[in-house]
Amino acid sequence: MTSTTELIPAPRAIEGPLRCGFVFDERTTLWAGPGTGTTERWLRSVLGPALDLPLPPGPEDSPHAVRLRVDDTLEPEAYRLTVSATWGVEIRGGCPAGVFWGAQTLRQLLGPEAFRRAPVRPGMRYGIPHQTVEDAPRFRWRGLLLDVARHFMPKDGVLRYLDLMAAHKLNVLHLHLTDDQGWRIEIKRHPKLTETGSWRSRTKLGHRASPLWDERPHGGFYTQDDIREIVAYAAQRHISVVPEIDVPGHSQAAIAAYPELGNTDVIDTTALSVWDTWGINPNVLAPTDTTLRFYEGVFEEVLELFPADAAAFSGFVHIGGDECPKDQWQRSAAAQARTKELGLAGEDELQAWFVGHFDRWLAARGRRLIGWDEILEGGLAPGAAVSSWRGYAGGIAAARAGHDVVMCPEQQVYLDHRQAAGEDEPVPIGYVRTLEDVYRFEPVPPQLTAEEAGHVLGTQANVWTEVLEDHARVDYQTFPRLAAFAEVAWSALPAPAERDFADFERRMTAHYARLDALGVAYRPPGGPKPWQRRPGILGRPIDGAPPNR
């Protein structure tokens, strides 16, 4: 079995292809076995318009059929795609999601025209050579974080990214919904969160040291029906949506809407507005019963909007927990009294108490808390999972303590970081992370034993939007590196130094045509196009190789 195709991510094994094969034409029908309805509907709604074919239901034994079936002898999410000149196409999946991932591979085999919304060559019929593709993912959690708090992404943009994720076999959308710069989800019992908290009067252009401002108001939010639509759309693509509601830091937008949530004995919280710049904000939530009850109400509505269902990670709720300065707590008589009342050693343990409260609250409702690796400070909440962002160390510590981990180290897979050292790179942030760097990223640290490594649920690429003001900038930073990341998350690759990047580049030649058909404004291999540059806007580039720790 040899890999002679141009698939991304690379499958485990391919037998063939041979010259003869199956042709999609007006005779092609679609037969869907039990549990494959989502893939049946997706194929008919996506491939049908692209190929100008109706793909009507047909008999299982037709030689012109595409057959979908769940086969529980396969691994979960695994699939086997068989193409035969005499027996049509069959996709077997170890579960409904496996069938869907096989359909994504079928789309790639049909060529870039299959990624368009209408036929560009009417009357053309598309053939696939005889072959068998056997495949299964390496990691269960294959995620993408979209930060819609710093710069709002309208609903249609989120739906578009769900389609892009599905095309790359990614299955977790981490939706960063709240921060100092905006609150993006409607909470009916607390309407000011969106009335006040979803809009800021202006926005810093570039890094926080930049002297430039965009003086236009910026904002927006998702109604509860918008959220329901996003979650349902994701579920139809076998993607879990994990909401993030940040506590106790990154909360100035909430405090601007409801000043009683802040540390009112050390600052006039009524004077705060939604933050218009970037960085670590000193205005954090007060550790009071008022704050706890308020956020319990928020989370009650969040749980209703993000139900724990059959999707793999739908029960997770992200509470942030990162970058929470303790200065106000140190100066607050109320916070110090709460620390003493609880018998805590200091502010780190006070944050751990805060996180622990919501860990228990969520667990009592059948949910799991996940937070950034700062939740390790002062003691990790029992049952909590960790997003390891400050490098590998937090994830290593959590896994060794028996906690589940998602590896997303800033130095490796923060896609807002620059892609080259050239001066033309728009608003350069952080270390240079090229397409090859991302391809050689390894989510499982070698320091972990096999048992400890079993706690690595998977990996995630994060797209923060402080300097990404619209979908074109998000596309530029995300692609093509997300394709490399998807292969790292899905495929059983060798050790980083042994990975065949030249073969990946060869396959990317075909994949760029797919991205073009999808309208993705990716960074071209030769560097940014003139309209992708942002001359004169200050970034924060960091020279040298990133630390690997």
In the prediction, which pLDDT does 16 show? 85
Measured torsion, CA atoms of residues 21, 81, 487, 312, in degrees rounded to the nearest 10: 150
Q: How far apart, in Å, are the Cα atoms of 525 and each of 428, 480, 512, 546?
A: 17, 9, 10, 22
Q: How far apart, in Å, are the Cα atoms of 322 and each of 8, 23, 179, 228, 432?
A: 34, 53, 11, 27, 24
Residue 303 has pLDDT above 90, yes or no: yes
* pLDDT (average), residues 18-22: 85
The alpha carbon dihedral of 241, 247, 251, 255 has a sign of positive
CA neighbours closer than 13 Å in the CB half-sphere of residue 305: 25
Residue 366 has pLDDT above 70, yes or no: yes
Residue 201 has pLDDT above 80, yes or no: yes
Residue 2 has pLDDT above 50, yes or no: no
- Which of 130, 218, 250, 318 is catalytic? The answer is 250
Cβ atoms of residues 343 and 394 within 8 Å: no
Per residue in 147-160, pLDDT tens? 999 999 999 999 99
* pLDDT (average), residues 224-228: 98
* pLDDT (average), residues 247-259: 98
Cβ atoms of residues 165 and 230 within 8 Å: no
Sequence-distant (≥ 6) Cβ neighbours of residue 297 within 8 angstroms: 187, 189, 190
- Which of 179, 244, 410, 466 is catalytic? The answer is 179
* Beta strands 405-407; 456-463: pairing state: parallel
Peptide bond into 17 cis (omega under 30): yes
* pLDDT (average), residues 354-381: 91
* pLDDT (average), residues 106-125: 95
Rounded Cα–Cα distance for residues 226 and 197 (Å):
18
Does the predicted model carry a pTM greater than 0.75?
yes
Per residue in 312-333, pLDDT tens? 899 999 999 999 999 999 999 9
**176 in catalytic set:** no
Provide the token pair at 508: 């990317």
Cβ atoms of residues 275 and 253 within 8 Å: yes
Per residue in 276-300, pLDDT tens? 999 999 999 999 999 999 999 999 9
Point out which residues pair with 183 in neighbouring strands: 178
Provide the token pair at 517: 């058909």
- Which of 71, 229, 301, 323 is catalytic? The answer is 323
In the prediction, which pLDDT does 310 show? 65
- CA 51 to chain centroid, in Å, comes to 29
Per residue in 44-101, pLDDT tens? 999 999 999 999 999 999 999 999 999 999 999 999 999 999 999 999 999 999 999 9
Q: Using a pLDDT cut of 70, give the percent of the chain over it.
A: 99
In the prediction, which pLDDT does 325 show? 97
In the prediction, which pLDDT does 130 show? 95
Band the pLDDT of 518: cuts 50, 70, 90.
very high
**64 in catalytic set:** no
In the prediction, which pLDDT does 1 show? 29
Please state, rounded to an integer, the average pLDDT across all residues of the chain.
96
Cβ atoms of residues 185 and 222 within 8 Å: yes
Residue 4 has pLDDT above 60, yes or no: no
From 122, 97, 113, select the one nearest 42 (Cα to Cα).
97
**323 in catalytic set:** yes
In the prediction, which pLDDT does 446 show? 96
Rounded Cα–Cα distance for residues 270 and 466 (Å):
25
* pLDDT (average), residues 538-543: 96
